A and B are shown apart, each in its own frame.
Chain A
Amino acid sequence: MARYIGIRVLQTIPVVLGTTFLIYGLVFLMPGDPIRAMFGNHPPSDAAIAVIRHEFRLDEPFIIQYLHFLYGALTFDFGKTFQGREVSDVIATSLPITAQLSFLAIFFEILIGIGLGILTGVKKGKIFDNTVLMSTLVIISIPTFVLGFVCQFLFGVKLKVVPTTVGVYVDIQHMLMPALILAGVSVSYVIRLTRSQIRDNLNADYVRTARAKGLDNKSVILKHVLRNSLVPVVTYIGADLGTLMGGAVVTEAVFNINGIGHQLYSAIAKGEGTLVTSLVTVLVIIYIVANLLVDILYAFLDPRIRYNKN
């Protein structure tokens, strides 16, 4: 197992190098001059603009800029944003917020997704099953921002049962609705995935054997069927954690959450190559770690999966 993890960690090095190079290159190739754009209709003199350009090394060739970024990243110095903040400070304040939102969303995926998945899988064809299936279809069909605005207006403005936005109040109470909205589509997929896995496994031979041995229904479902059904579900949720950490831009905007999604969006809009690349590097590492965790979870779920070759 340790060797397997070691190999996987080593694999991240070329992945991180490759992505940072690509992303840095893409930002470099974006049209428009980010420094000139900062000043809109009131540009300072060319001499003053040259000073700023030099400060951010924008007057140097691409490869020098990139290598300098890389050297900085290796020494944990990601440089400064155009605003003058340390990039590491930006990451340190926005990452925990996104992490909280994502983990809360994943929590709902597990709780509601797997829970309803089991119930619908066992009670196939019943009214309950059909109602849940229909609801998931509706949630999958509605774009996240529509669902977000509607719930915000209904529960936040009209009924006043939850806060309308998050803003400075980063806590469970304020994050509840955004996390539910963010989890919405994934919950629907998890329900459907769990349900179909359970139904497939219910017809398997080992289930018949277990029942023949006289095990009660509850043990059969929870101990045998569920465990075997969870492998693809865990894969899905694990991959989703990576996606949620980097891709909650829409939900973050609707509920004014100052997470990594917003930081990435505004950094791209401003053409801040260093910030974009630093944020992406962090996201790539999170994605890789999430996938690694999923692979390790497999071994717990299915003893047949082992990573040592001998």
Chain B
Amino acid sequence: MKKLIVILSSLVLSVLSVGALSSCGSGQESTSDSSDKIINVYGCEPQNKLVPGNTTETCGGNILGVLFDELVSYSSDGKAENDVAESITPSDGNKVYEIKIKSGLVFDNGEAVTSESFIKAWNYTAVAENAQGAQSFFAPIKGYKEVAEEGAKTKELSGLVKVSDLEFKIELNEASVTFPLRLGYSAFAPLPVSEFDAEGKLNEGFGDHPIGNGPYKFSQWNHDMDVKIVKSDTYKGNRIPKNGGIDFKVYTGGTEAAYADIQSGALDVLEAVPMTQTKTFQNDPQIQAVVSPSAVYQGLEIPDNLAHFGWDEEGQLRRAAISRAIDRQAIIDKVSDGLADHPVSFSPNSSKISGATDQIKGNEVLQFDAAKAKELWTKADAISKFENPKLDVYYNADGGGKPLLEAVANSIKANLDIESSAKSTPDFKTLLNKEASHTMDGAFRMGWQPDYPSVENYLAPLYSKEAAKNGSNYSGFSNDEFEELMVKGGASDNIDDANKVFVEAEEVLFKYLPCFPLYDPKDKGAAALGVKGMAFDWHGTPDYINIIKD
């Protein structure tokens, strides 16, 4: 018996000692005025080390977005404004851009931001052997093919030319009036020249301790726990922070636990509301709810490898029939709890997105009309009879798309009288594999998170021939008229003219319907009581620099 007591008490002691050893770090910072306060925001573990050119997902992207400053930055209403750039001057019909950098800007290690900082960083990202995730962002720049593909001999983009310490030239493959809009994406960030070796390789440890030129300075990264950043004292750009720093708390199990922390005040800002709370969060007295239109596009894509759904007249009629058969408003009310808008185009109809409009010929095909749907379907049958008609819709079981896709399938089934059911793949990567290899035997959901606030970014990456080879065109859509319009739009004199041409390109899409817009979602967020200034920026990230707490 004594032995048993000894064992039991040693167990107790071991439990207590583990606790004592690790119970550090819970101290609170001393109170002072709000501009020094650290705000605690929801975060998730970055997929890769914190390198701008290797990050295209939001966990790392949200952090890098405020650690680095690019040539342009986006205001809260989505306008691109010069930031690191003093001026961006187009020439040769928008095919060449001359960049002038503001003088006196520095990285957090004191190094000056120069044209070399951009050229080295961009070359590094574009070269294939460096295997950087954001490589494809440099595809418009001349010389991309020579560095990005198998057996590349050169390691420098020929389109990037240094003019002086503060000036460089970018030459593009094709004229693009929207190119400067893209330059605010974090993949285009400059990196300190001292962090590269003679071969042009970035130092191995850079991603563990990134040195940026942005509003905040990297402080500490405890993997799967938190990433701490503090206000940079050398920053002189457009986005001066109102708080003292940000602590990105990592929530490994999703947003439910984070929501409870918002309610109890342990967390200040949450950029997504868990599905269990979407019905109630706007009336929750223990939080501040934030809802605003999202930049995310949500559609349903029918790949052209499905019989009867090609790009010929029959396929067009069938696609239009399916689109007409989907009762979008009912789906929005039931599945999204009304927190979405009826779509009008191939991008969300938001004032923050350059070129978004509801004035597009042919967009009436998005209106629910069961009689019209049947009529179109019968017309298609007259061209070529569809025996045992069937259209299944796919979602990935790990992504929460089930209720939406089931509603879509029911809508198609009820209004067109054809077989349709919602089917799932076990996870996102399986779905993606089937989409990319054109082996999907049904329609699937397409969610698109844009990289820059222009309607062009919702069109070229999803429907162009280039994107079918190496990108996100999973429907297999290939249309010369669309291609020409995209080129013509890019070659316009100014953005307004370009946007008019992009509307024409959307009209082509409405004719063929490679994808149907399903709904325009909203960004849903929450802030703890006592937090001020929580709002979403143009692409659904909390506007971290303006958030303060008492």
Contact = CB atoms under 8 A, between A and B. Distances in A.
B225 A45 contact: no
Interface stretch (B348-356, B380-388, B414-422, B424-432): B424-432
A113 to B, nearest CB: 12
B504 to A, nearest CB: 25
A205 B81 CA distance: 90
A143 to B, nearest CB: 14
Interface stretch (B147-155, B366-374, B514-522, B538-546): B147-155
B432 A258 contact: no
A256 B23 contact: no
A256 B253 contact: yes
Contact of A46 (B150, B222, B427, B432): B150
A172 B23 contact: yes
Task: Give the bracket for the number of chain B residues in contact with chain A.
Answer: 35 or more
Interface stretch (A58-66, A81-89, A187-195): A81-89
Given A37-B432, A157-B264, A157-B286, A31 B49 contact: no
Nearest to A111: B12
Contacts of B48: 82-84
A168 B12 contact: no
Interface in B43-78: 45-49, 56-57
B260 A41 contact: no
A146 to B, nearest CB: 12
Contact of B1 (A49, A165, A169, A222): A222
A48 B18 contact: no
Interface in B245-268: 249-254, 256-258, 260-261, 263-264, 266
A40 B56 contact: yes
B22 A171 contact: yes
Contact of B222 (A49, A82, A163, A168): A168
A258 B224 contact: yes
A226 to B, nearest CB: 8
Contact of B257 (A103, A165, A175): A165
Contacts of B430: 31-32
A124 B432 CA distance: 60
A253 B254 contact: yes
A31 B426 contact: yes
Interface stretch (B133-141, B327-335, B403-411): B133-141
A48 B132 contact: yes
Given A42-B134, A256-B253, A36 B433 contact: yes
B135 A45 contact: yes
B19 A40 contact: no
A62 to B, nearest CB: 18
Given A43-B470, A83-B48, A269-B427, A32 B432 contact: yes
A25 interface: no
Contacts of A99: 18
A198 to B, nearest CB: 15
A38 interface: yes
Contacts of B448: 41
Interface string A57-98: 000000000000000000000000011110001100110110
B261 A40 contact: no
Interface in A245-288: 252-258, 262-263, 266, 269, 271
B479 interface: no
Interface stretch (A12-20, A130-138, A148-156): A148-156
Given A31-B426, A31-B433, A93 B256 contact: no
A39 B257 contact: no
B472 interface: yes
A41 B49 CA distance: 19
A52 interface: yes
Contact of A171 (B1, B12, B26, B131): B26
Interface in A157-184: 157, 160, 163-165, 167-175
A39 B56 contact: yes
A32 B427 contact: yes
A174 B18 CA distance: 13
B50 to A, nearest CB: 10
Interface of B: 1, 3-4, 7-8, 11-12, 14-16, 18-20, 22-23, 25-26, 45-49, 56-57, 128-137, 148-152, 207, 222-226, 249-254, 256-258, 260-261, 263-264, 266, 286, 398, 425-433, 436, 448-449, 451, 461, 470-472
Interface of A: 31-34, 36-52, 55, 82-85, 89-90, 93-94, 96-97, 99-100, 103-104, 106-107, 110, 149, 152-153, 156-157, 160, 163-165, 167-175, 222-223, 227, 230, 252-258, 262-263, 266, 269, 271, 297, 300-301
Task: List 10 tightest A-B contacts by C-beta distance, closest first.
Answer: A253-B253, A37-B429, A171-B23, A32-B429, A44-B135, A172-B19, A47-B128, A256-B257, A51-B131, A32-B430
Given A164-B257, A253-B253, 16 more contacts: A37-B428, A43-B436, A44-B133, A44-B136, A48-B148, A82-B47, A99-B18, A107-B12, A153-B260, A157-B264, A165-B251, A165-B258, A165-B266, A167-B266, A172-B20, A269-B427
